Each structure stands twice: as C-alpha cells, then as structure tokens.
Chains A and B, each alone.
Chain A
Amino acid sequence: MTPGRVSPRLSHNAMRHWNERLIEAVLFLAAALSVLTTLGIVYILVSESIHFFARISIVDFLTDTQWTPLFDDAHFGIMVLVSGTLVSSLVALLVAIPVGTTIAIYLSEFAGSRVREIAKPILELLGGIPTIVYGYFALLVVTPILQVLLPNLPGFSLLSAGFVMGIMIVPYIASLSEDAMRAVPMSLREGAYAMGSSRLYTAIHVVIPAALSGLAASYVLAVSRAVGETMILAVAAGMQPNLTWNPMEPAATITSYIVQVALGDLPHGSIGYQTIFAAGLTLLLITLMFNIVGQWLRAKYKENY
C-alpha cells in the first residue's frame, strides 16, 4: 500500500456513516425527551408559583401557622403541610430502615441461595402492590390494631399512615441494600472470617462499612418515596391541615393536599389553583434537597474496597 492512502477496509463508507448518524439522533432524542419533560415540569411549577408569590408574600408562606387557602379568611402557611409530610415520612423511615436493613443482612449474609431466590422476588412483589391498597390496609387494619395499643389514637393519624408507608418502603430498602452488600467482594468477607469473626460480626463490622454508600443511596431513595407518597396519606392520615409534630394526630401532607384540591373544580388562575403549584414546588425542593444529600453521602462513603 502506498503511504498516505487509507486501506479500502477503513475508508469512508457513506451509507454506514448515515446509519450511525441516524441512530445517534434517535438515541439523543430519547435522552432529550426525559430531560425536556423534567424541565417542562419545573418551568410550569415555577411560573405558576411566581403568580402565587405575587399575591402572597414568601414570608407569610413560610411562617404562617394556618393553611386555609379556600376559606374566606385565607391563610397560606406551608409549614402546616410540611410538618405532616415530615412527620409521616419520619415514622415511615423509623419502620423501614431497621426492618429493611435487617432483611438485607439476612438475605445477603445468612440466607442460603435457595431461600434468597424465593424470598427476594416475593419481597419485590410487595413493592408492586398499588399504594391505594396500602392506604385502605392502614385505615381498616392497622389503625384498629394500633388503637388497641394506643386508645387515644384517632381514626385518621400520621402514625398509622406512616407505619404502613414504612412497610411499603421496606422492599426497596431491603432489595437495594442487599444488592449493595452482595457487591462487597468475597475476599473481604474471607479476610474477616479468617480472623475468627462470626457471620453477624462480619456483617456489621466489615460488610456494612464496605457497602455504606449503597446503603445510604437506598435510604435516600426511601426518603424520596416517603415524601412523595400520596394515596396512603390521603386515605389514612386524614386531610385536615394541622400544624403538628405529633404522629398521633391526623394531618394533611403536601401530597394529600394537592390530590384533595386537584380533584375539586377550582377556576384556572384562582389563588386556590395556584396553591397547588406552590405546594408542588415546595415538594420538589424537599426531594431535591434529599437527593443532594444522597449524592453527597455517596461521594463521601464511596466503596473503598
């Protein structure tokens, strides 16, 4: 071959070139679609919220202790809804993190392969149950049982809704945490066993520290699920806006307020209509905050095995 000339096998093939370009374009569009959707949602939330904040000051929004947007004496204190969201999420996490992590330790470190093969799909099936079913389960089964233990518990409460939300989240935490723990290399476990440690000691002192970033990620996902959960709270927590940090009380959350108001026929452009977007934006910011914390945790405890 003379120098300076490309082999015919490597030379420019116009047809293949266009095919590649086409495929690239299709893939780019698919990726762009999800980004654009997200941007669109954010745009709508922000632009409608701007109208809202033109009428209601942001200070009132953050400090008012009542949320009565549809009354004549309207108040717009978002903390009322935020408190319900945070309390119910906290209850859910107090249930889901210990239970989910324990299940993950069992499946990853103790269960034989046969048990794991049966248990894990069943667990994941639990994550596929519609949340409305969980909602009625909370209202009709869990609340009466809790009322036996806690006679003061009202028929609707953040406690029973949060508790059932925790049960709903358990499979996510268990499944993701188990993946993270199983990804810890066997050589690390062998090193621990060779030092004479038991299974539980190995799991707690070697496997969990090694899998910490994955565990943190699963917890953050759980927080996002809890904060964004709607149906269980709408059904079982009661929908009255109530600024409380007491899980024994009924209260509305950001999500249950949105579903309640969005079902009514609010005139477009009314202040009631705009509260939906202000509340939605608040929800988005809370979830965003947890996601940033999650990213930070991931980076801080990245796998160092």
Chain B
Amino acid sequence: MPNNTTQERLKAEARGLNFFYNGGIQALKNINMPIYDNRVTALIGPSGCGKSTYLRSFNRMHDLYPGNRYEGEIRFYPDDTNLLAPEVDPIEVRMRVGMVFQKPNPFPKSIYENVAYGLRVRGERNRRMLDDKVEHALRGAALWDEVKDRLQDLASNLSGGQQQRLCIARALATDPELLLFDEPTSALDPIATGAIEELVHELKKRVTILIVTHNMQQAARVSDYTAYMFLGEMIEFGKTDEIFIKPKDRRTEDYITGRMG
C-alpha cells in the first residue's frame, strides 16, 4: 500500500473528460482523475453512474458505435499521449490497453488460440515465441496447471471462472500497460470470484489496473485507490483506506454505508 501520493508515478490522467452518447446524452461530466502506475484503482457507484462508460473510454470502445463523442483528454504516460485525440488510432490504443469484460467472452477457438489471439493480431508467427507467451500468460492468469494438458480443447468447454481467467490470460499475453476490468466477477460464483480477486492483486506488479465493481467489499479488498462516481460525475477520489474509513463527501459516505444505491 502506498504511503505517500506524491511518490506515485502517473500512468494515465483524465482531464476535463466529458462523454456524450449518440443522441447527445451526457454520460460523463468533467472527470479529472489520476491513474497511478502499478496500482489498482477501483471505480464504484450506483448503476448508471457512468463508471463503465468511463472505463470504456480508456480503450476507445465507444468508437465502435456511431455518434458517440468525447471531449477533454486522457493523457497516457510515459509518452504523454492523449488517448482520445482523433488522430490517435483506436487500434493503437487497444494494443496498449487491455480489457476484461463483465461476462467471459472467449472466442470460438481453442484455449491456445484464444491466448495467442492478440499476438497473432500483432503479426507474431514464430511458433516457439507463441508457445512461450501463451504459457507465460496462462501462468500469469493462474490457469496453466488446469489447462496445460488440453490446450487444443475449445475454450467454451471451460467453466465460467476458468473462462474469465482465460480472458485475463488473453489480455495479458500482449503485455498491456493498462488493464481494464469491467465488473469481472459479476457472472461468477464466490470461489471463482476469490480466484480473480487474488489474481488482480498479483497482477498489479506487472500492469496498472482499473476495475469497475458493484461490490464494495471487492473494491476494499483489491484496490489501492477508489473513485466514487454518481450521475456521471467524479464525486470523490482517494486512497481506498481513506475513502472507506473517512470519506470526505457525504454522498460517498451514504453509498458506502448502504444508505443509497
């Protein structure tokens, strides 16, 4: 756990971020927030508060649907690129920012090919290189021992928790700098959830993590920093300990203590 915020290195920073869905509905309102390197940052807030919308801005997922519009910036370090700049190719952004979704979404391919997918997209053809990276990613996602003897099986034969760890391995295989988790355990049972949480804790040594969660205990368990969002606004951001023990904003306190949401 970090002692002092000033010692943290920035990985990304939202500056004056507004987001409008097709039709003009404003889902994010002037978000300013740092994301620190090799830390886990949790986004909490009631349904519809914009936390997933915010998360999906980091890998330009909104570009997939016509009519969506960003304003403001997400600066990405160390190179200080604005991820949202129109001249920045969303594919380049997604090469650096990985994502794990709410529901496990393995591709209709073998376990091996699922993990190798991102490497193949990046043009990797060397079989040994692929084998090494697939194994490394599966070990990183704590799945290797369970699947090493059946790498050619279809990914859909795995259990839900295994599928989600496979999706994490898929994202890890390309060594992303930032990994986005969109409620990664909401479709899983408590044991699989525990495994994923442990994994998130382990992974922050390798990668910066931003995680949306509906589960306050989960945010408290896995994150170093927490941001509370409400109606598209960032209400409060701070160290997780401080947010959960002595929130500054009344609305944060109401949400955390269960009086609202």
Are B94's CB and A191's CB within 8 A? Answer: no
B63-122 residues at the A interface, CB under 8 angstroms = 64, 66, 91-92, 94-95, 98-99, 101, 103, 105-109, 117-118, 120-122
Inter-chain contacts of A57 with B (CB < 8 A): none
Are A196's CB and B91's CB within 8 A? Answer: yes
Return 12 A-B CB contacts under 8 Å, by A number.
Answer: A113-B66, A190-B64, A191-B167, A191-B170, A193-B94, A194-B171, A195-B98, A196-B91, A209-B109, A212-B108, A305-B105, A305-B156
Are A188's CB and B107's CB within 8 A? Answer: yes
A199-229 residues at the B interface, CB under 8 angstroms = 201, 205-206, 209-210, 212
- Minimum CB–CB distance from B173 to chain A (whole Å) comes to 9
Q: Is A147 part of the binding interface, using a Cβ–Cβ cutoff of 8 Å?
A: no
- Minimum CB–CB distance from A211 to chain B (whole Å) comes to 9
Are A195's CB and B108's CB within 8 A? Answer: no
Are B121's CB and A201's CB within 8 A? Answer: yes
Specify which of A187, A196, A205, A210 is in contact with B101 (CB 8 Å cutoff): A187
The CA of A191 and the CA of B106, in the complex, are separated in Å by: 8
Q: Is B61 part of the binding interface, using a Cβ–Cβ cutoff of 8 Å?
A: yes
Q: Is A13 part of the binding interface, using a Cβ–Cβ cutoff of 8 Å?
A: no
Are A191's CB and B118's CB within 8 A? Answer: no
Interface size classification for chain B: 20 to 34
Per-position 1/0 for A154-197, Cβ under 8 A of B:
00000000000000000000000000000001011111111111
Are B91's CB and A209's CB within 8 A? Answer: no
- Minimum CB–CB distance from A214 to chain B (whole Å) comes to 12
Are B121's CB and A195's CB within 8 A? Answer: yes
Q: Is B59 part of the binding interface, using a Cβ–Cβ cutoff of 8 Å?
A: yes
Which residue on chain A has the smallest CB distance to residue B66? Answer: A112
The CA of A5 and the CA of B30, in the complex, are separated in Å by: 66
Q: A206-B107, A305-B156 are in contact. Are A194 and B121 (CB under 8 A)?
A: no
Are B174's CB and A196's CB within 8 A? Answer: yes
Are A190's CB and B91's CB within 8 A? Answer: no
Q: Is B216 part of the binding interface, using a Cβ–Cβ cutoff of 8 Å?
A: no
Are B105's CB and A187's CB within 8 A? Answer: yes
Enumerate the 5 nearest inter-chain pairs by beta-carbon distance, A residue then B residue, closest first: A194-B99, A196-B94, A191-B105, A196-B95, A195-B118
The CA of A1 and the CA of B95, in the complex, are separated in Å by: 69
Q: Is B10 part of the binding interface, using a Cβ–Cβ cutoff of 8 Å?
A: no
The CA of A29 and the CA of B213, in the complex, are separated in Å by: 55
Q: A112-B66, A196-B94, A304-B154 are in contact. Are A191 and B59 (CB under 8 A)?
A: no
- Minimum CB–CB distance from A267 to chain B (whole Å) comes to 58
Inter-chain contacts of A192 with B (CB < 8 A): 107, 117
Which residue on chain A has the smallest CB distance to residue B180? Answer: A194
The CA of A113 and the CA of B118, in the complex, are separated in Å by: 29
Are A209's CB and B107's CB within 8 A? Answer: yes
Specify which of A113, A185, A196, A209 is in contact with B121 (CB 8 Å cutoff): A196
Are A304's CB and B101's CB within 8 A? Answer: no
Q: Is A198 part of the binding interface, using a Cβ–Cβ cutoff of 8 Å?
A: yes
Are A194's CB and B61's CB within 8 A? Answer: yes
Inter-chain contacts of A205 with B (CB < 8 A): 107, 117, 120
Are B61's CB and A190's CB within 8 A? Answer: yes
The CA of A191 and the CA of B104, in the complex, are separated in Å by: 9
Are B94's CB and A304's CB within 8 A? Answer: no
